[in-house]
Structure 1
Amino acid sequence: MEMMNLKPAFARKLNQQGLSPLHMAVKQGHKGMAPRFLGIDKDLVRVKGKNGKTLLHFISEAGNHDGMLDRILEICPQCIQDVNALHIAVENNRLDVL
């Protein structure tokens, strides 16, 4: 968080696996970090990582753990325009996302 405060562009950088800090926080189950990142810049949810995947892609594939999808859509409702989450959720049998 301190790095983001000092250099906000850091939050948009991808690591060698093609993941942003926000992608990594969600992937690693750090549920409190995502809202903190998005509190600084709500458009971080729209950062495209490996293969053009946004955070919404990740959640649509992995499931709506701890209501993360709800929080993300409250913070940045425009992110739904970046992905066809419905198709991804159906392909991955994620009824919780639907």
Structure 2
Amino acid sequence: MLQLILNDKLILSFEPLGKKVRLIISESDVELACRKETIKNLKHFLTEDEMKIFKGRLQLHKQGDIVEVLLKNKPIAVVSSIEFEQILNKL
């Protein structure tokens, strides 16, 4: 499982599930939100200039080279799309 530290409390984890990946936002071993998606769809999301993916508790919004992570419709972190793509390539 690969992880991105979002801030001093929250972590975004990437758990491979065959052709899919499970994205998990957690705080101190407690899962706050998760979403299963294909790696292909996530890579397509990264190639667009402006795009939103997912509905519900966990959402990702992309503008240019920045991916904004939202939890319950509130922005919690900003991640570089390059860093996000590097993690997907390792899965």
Bigger radius of gyration among the two: 1
For CA contacts below 8 A with separation 6 or more, give which structure has more relative contact order: 1
Q: Same fold (TM over 0.5)?
A: no
Greater fraction strand = 2
Give the structure with the higher percent helix.
1
- Structure 1 length-normalised TM: 0.27
